[in-house]
Amino acid sequence: MSERGYVHGYSETESERLSVQAATLNELLYGDTPYPAGSLVLEAGCGTGAQTPVITKNSPGAVIISVDISQKSLEVAKNRTTAEGRAGEYLNCDIFGLPFPGDSFDHIFVCFVLEHLRDPVDALTALMRVLKPGGTITVIEGVGEDAVSSGMMTKEEWDEGISALYRTAEEDGTFCYTFFKATGTRPV
């Protein structure tokens, strides 16, 4: 575990929730995220690989390296991708200590990772170190604090929504999620 801490769980229930979330939002989140053939892509914080098969399917000629701090999650991700007939590389490492030289990757994909870290800005800084000048970084994240601070909802409403997430596995469960997706290019 990173000294900076991961503030989310690794339970079977959480893994399943993330898989359902990825499948439900597949086209909306990843449909417009193909990477060109021959490009080197870092999927940072892949977790159990809920989105990894979609990324590899959308980018058949790209080399995708998926990293996560949890070896157990990486094994699940690798099995999931292999089961879908997709190839990929998996590496157990911490975003804050990536074992790659600077300017290594053409593209970086980060999905629902930063919101779980105590130092998301430091994580982005660490990721930018390995992104080539002119490369892109795509970030998809939840926006709880922004929704509350902008007055879109109260803290109590947000907390109630988070509690409802735990009920999604039940017959009367509901699911609502606010997120943003942005792609930036590192200046040359």
CA–CA distance, 151 with 133 (Å, rounded to integer): 37
Q: What is the pLDDT of residue 115?
A: 79
The pTM for the full model equals: 0.74
CA–CA distance, 136 with 108 (Å, rounded to integer): 6
Residues 6+ apart with CB under 8 A from 91: 65, 66, 67, 74, 99
Q: 79 and 71 in contact (C-beta within 8 Å)? A: no
Burial of 38 (0-12, 13-18, 19+ CB in 10 A): exposed
pLDDT band at residue 6 using 50, 70 and 90 as cut-offs:
very low
pLDDT band at residue 112 using 50, 70 and 90 as cut-offs:
confident
CA–CA distance, 43 with 80 (Å, rounded to integer): 15
- Nearest CA to 30 out of 39, 21, 91 is that of 21
The mean pLDDT value for 175-180 works out to 63
Task: List domains and CATH numbers for the chain.
Answer: 12-142 (3.40.50.150)
* pLDDT tens digits, 141-150: 877 777 777 7
Residue type, 36: P
SS3 19: helix
Instruction: Assess whether pLDDT exceeds 90 at residue 84.
Output: no
SS3 16: helix
Q: 72 and 100 in contact (C-beta within 8 Å)? A: no
What is the percentage of the chain residues whose pLDDT exceeds 90? 33
Q: Could you tell me which residues are beta bridge partners of residue 108?
A: 42, 137
